[in-house]
Amino acid sequence: MDGIMQQIAEHKGCGTSGGSGKASCGSSAGSGDLPTEIWEKVKNHPCYSEEAHHHYARMHVAVAPACNIQCNYCNRKYDCANESRPGVVSEKLSPEQAAKKVLAVASTIPQMTVLGIAGPGDPLANPEKTFKTFELISRTAPDIKLCLSTNGLALPDHVDTIAGFNVDHVTITINMVDPEIGARIYPWVFWKHKRYTGVEAAKLLTDRQLQGLEMLTERGILCKVNSVMIPGVNDRHLIEVNKAVKSRGAFLHNIMPLISAAEHGTVFGLTGQRGPSAQELKALQDSCEGEMNMMRHCRQCRADAVGLLGEDRSAEFTTDKIMAMEVDYDLEGRKAYQEKVEEERVAKVAAKQEELKILAGESSDIKLLIAVATKGSGLINEHFGHAKEFQVYELSTAGAKFVGHRRVDLYCQGGYGDEDSLETVIRAINDCHAVFVAKIGGCPKNDLIKAGIEPVDQFAHEFIEKSAIAWFKAYLDKVNAGEIVHEIRGDAEIRQGALINAA
């Protein structure tokens, strides 16, 4: 069995080593950690590389409205600008409209490297529209990576076509491998002109998902598995899902929190099913990371999202706007811009490695979290009051590790601070010892200090990881000198209603 596991892992570019059998690559991997062929696929894909997501953008086009399953956490909306979650779009597009939108976005945002189709239904329940869109994009913008996200029910029927369009990245949402658990998540699936319900439906779905995953990895297509963590339903079971998808060659596993606000109108939302807390989510991700690499930078994007992960610029590219645009697709200009981005990445990595030297010889067991306000590029370059989210890093003597993000409501409201929003920000980063910002006002600074969170603004516009390591070394020095006592922070709240496409 170990030999088979190694062959699967090597085929997809992830060798396994050590007693855990954990793949030695993943979203945090760099150019030295991966075979050249795999690195070329992921180096500028913001979803498949945590490091790339600080620098590169993606976009989704909403050409696939129909869906072939019903999930208790999903309520598709086709004309909604107020919610930031999967299955929601402001407008549906034809393949021709989508193709022009891609060119318009790529011309305006030269760091946009990936075009994904993720709904608002399922791309493979709309195969003609999905593959027509891929055909048009591959012809007019050959430098853009193509990917799709599917529930997997129809996946085995379309693997050859996916491979034929050189789609190198496919995401499959797999929430269970036990049909009894699946029956609590999926009321029905629709396959071959028949509706299935209950355990029968869940068994059909999981069998097709795992079959499709195996077929893709056999063809060398990188697969990411998304799983929604639903406390009391599949949270413990996701460890088994993790093992199952690893054994079938998945490149990454992305465990996401359930979005279950009642106002979204989902079954779980209306029945009061809660989502996980920040600590519950991190604990599950940590436990699965012992088996394979985890994606922790997912933003659970809308099906029409545009921009860097964590931002949404789709309002700039509505159909009426793009149809009026004269688009000049400057391929050479895009390449030149991206070469500059790569220079930034090299500088960032070098700065981190140099700063890590100051932790050499430290033997502390202390681990803690910090929050960071950033606009991207791996820099501390956002004002506290303007932040729509904070990136979260875990600091230890091993360095700084990205472990997630927290959506928040804007504190700054046109020149004044919203105290109600500040309370939600504090709850969202309550498990963090410090928050790193480019700038912060006196009032929020004082409230953060009272909450036990240190505001840190002396590293404005510096690299995140380099700055975090320097601050952590100073923190350890204070602990060792008896100036402060290290205390474990409490839990934090995962915000569901923030990061709305209107701010």
> How far is C-alpha 386 from the geometric centre of its chain's CA atoms?
21
In the chain, % of residues over pLDDT 70? 87
Rounded-to-integer distance, Cα 320 and Cα 60, Å: 17
For residue 275, pLDDT over 90 is answered with: yes
Q: What is the pLDDT of residue 312?
A: 77
For residue 83, pLDDT over 60 is answered with: no
Note whether 214 and 267 are within 8 A (CB): no
Q: What is the pLDDT of residue 421?
A: 82
For residue 164, pLDDT over 80 is answered with: yes
201-246 per-position pLDDT tens digit: 999 999 999 999 999 999 999 999 999 999 999 999 999 999 999 9
- Average pLDDT over every residue of 417-446: 90
Nearest to 106 by CA among 403, 422, 338: 338
For residue 316, pLDDT over 90 is answered with: no
Q: What is the pLDDT of residue 364?
A: 93
Sign of CA dihedral 141, 142, 143, 145: positive
Structure tokens at 398: 């091993």
Rounded-to-integer distance, Cα 442 and Cα 422, Å: 13
Roughly what angle, to the nearest 10 degrees, separates helices 238-247 and 198-218? 30
Question: Largest Cα–Cα distance in the chain?
Answer: 71
The partner residues of 191 in beta bridges, in order of sequence, read 194
For residue 39, pLDDT over 90 is answered with: no
For residue 5, pLDDT over 80 is answered with: no
Q: Is 321 helix (H, G, I), strand (E, B) or coil?
A: helix
Give the single-character DSSP code of 265: -
Average pLDDT over the chain, rounded to an integer: 86
Q: What is the pLDDT of residue 362?
A: 86
Q: How many CA atoms lie within 13 A of 290 on its CB side?
A: 9
The band of 260, judged by pLDDT with boundaries at 50, 70 and 90, is confident
Higher pLDDT pick, 382 / 310:
382
Q: Is 223 helix (H, G, I), strand (E, B) or coil?
A: strand
- Domain 36-323 - what CATH class? alpha beta
Amino acid at residue number 240: E
Rounded-to-integer distance, Cα 170 and Cα 321, Å: 30
- Average pLDDT over every residue of 64-93: 72
The residue written with tokens 């929190």 in the block is: 257
Structure tokens at 150: 């599917």
Structure tokens at 327: 């688009």
Which strands form 69-70's sheet, in the order they lie side by side?
69-70, 188-191, 194-197
The band of 25, judged by pLDDT with boundaries at 50, 70 and 90, is very low
357-370 per-position pLDDT tens digit: 999 888 899 999 99
Structure tokens at 27: 């979203």
Nearest to 284 by CA among 257, 306, 265: 257
For residue 404, pLDDT over 60 is answered with: yes
Q: What is the pLDDT of residue 63?
A: 94
Q: What is the pLDDT of residue 85?
A: 54
End-to-end CA distance of the chain: 52
Amino acid at residue number 220: G
φ, ψ (nearest 5 deg) of residue 471: -65, -40
CATH match for 358-481 among 3.30.420.130, 3.90.1150.10, 3.40.50.2000, 3.30.420.10: 3.30.420.130
Number of C-beta neighbours around residue 88 at 10 A: 26
Q: What is the dihedral of CA 119, 125, 126, 127, to 10 degrees?
A: 120
Q: Is 64 helix (H, G, I), strand (E, B) or coil?
A: strand
Note whether 23 and 15 are within 8 A (CB): yes
For residue 14, pLDDT over 50 is answered with: no
Nearest to 85 by CA among 97, 96, 73: 73
Nearest to 271 by CA among 280, 260, 281: 260
Sorted by sequence, the CB contacts under 8 Å of residue 74 that are 6+ apart come out as 86, 87, 266
- Average pLDDT over every residue of 384-405: 93
Q: Is 77 helix (H, G, I), strand (E, B) or coil?
A: strand
Give the single-character DSSP code of 27: T
Q: What is the pLDDT of residue 490?
A: 92
> What single string gives the DSSP state of each residue in 85-110?
STTB-S----HHHHHHHHHHHHHH-T
Q: How many CA atoms lie within 13 A of 21 on its CB side?
A: 16
Q: What is the pLDDT of residue 450?
A: 95
- Average pLDDT over every residue of 302-329: 82
| Alpha-carbon Rg for the chain in angstroms | 22
**What's this model's pTM, rounded to 2 decimal places?**
0.84
Q: What is the pLDDT of residue 303?
A: 78
Q: What is the dihedral of CA 400, 401, 404, 409, to 10 degrees?
A: 10
Q: What is the pLDDT of residue 15?
A: 38
Q: What is the pLDDT of residue 17?
A: 33
The band of 478, judged by pLDDT with boundaries at 50, 70 and 90, is very high
Structure tokens at 326: 């004269």
Q: What is the pLDDT of residue 309?
A: 77
Structure tokens at 251: 């490149």
Instruction: Determine how β-strand 169-173 pairs with β-strand 188-191.
Output: unpaired
Structure tokens at 91: 């407008």
- Average pLDDT over every residue of 281-301: 85
- Average pLDDT over every residue of 270-283: 93
Q: What is the pLDDT of residue 18?
A: 32
Q: What is the pLDDT of residue 415?
A: 63
- 348-379 b/e (C-beta count within 10 Å ≥ 16 → b): bbebbeebbeebeeeeeeeebbbbbbbbbbbb
Domain-wise residue ranges, the chain: 36-323, 358-481
> What single string gives the DSSP state of each residue in 439-498?
B--HHHHHHHHHTT-EEE-TTTTSBHHHHHHHHHHHHHHHHHTTSS-----------SS-
Nearest to 380 by CA among 395, 365, 370: 370
Q: What is the pLDDT of residue 51?
A: 80
For residue 499, pLDDT over 70 is answered with: no
> Which range, 108-112, 179-183, 348-352, 359-363, has the best average confidence (pLDDT)?
179-183
Number of C-beta neighbours around residue 86 at 10 A: 23
Q: What is the pLDDT of residue 495?
A: 74
Q: What is the pLDDT of residue 84?
A: 53
Sign of CA dihedral 19, 239, 23, 282: negative
Which range has the worst mean pLDDT, 14-28, 87-101, 207-221? 14-28
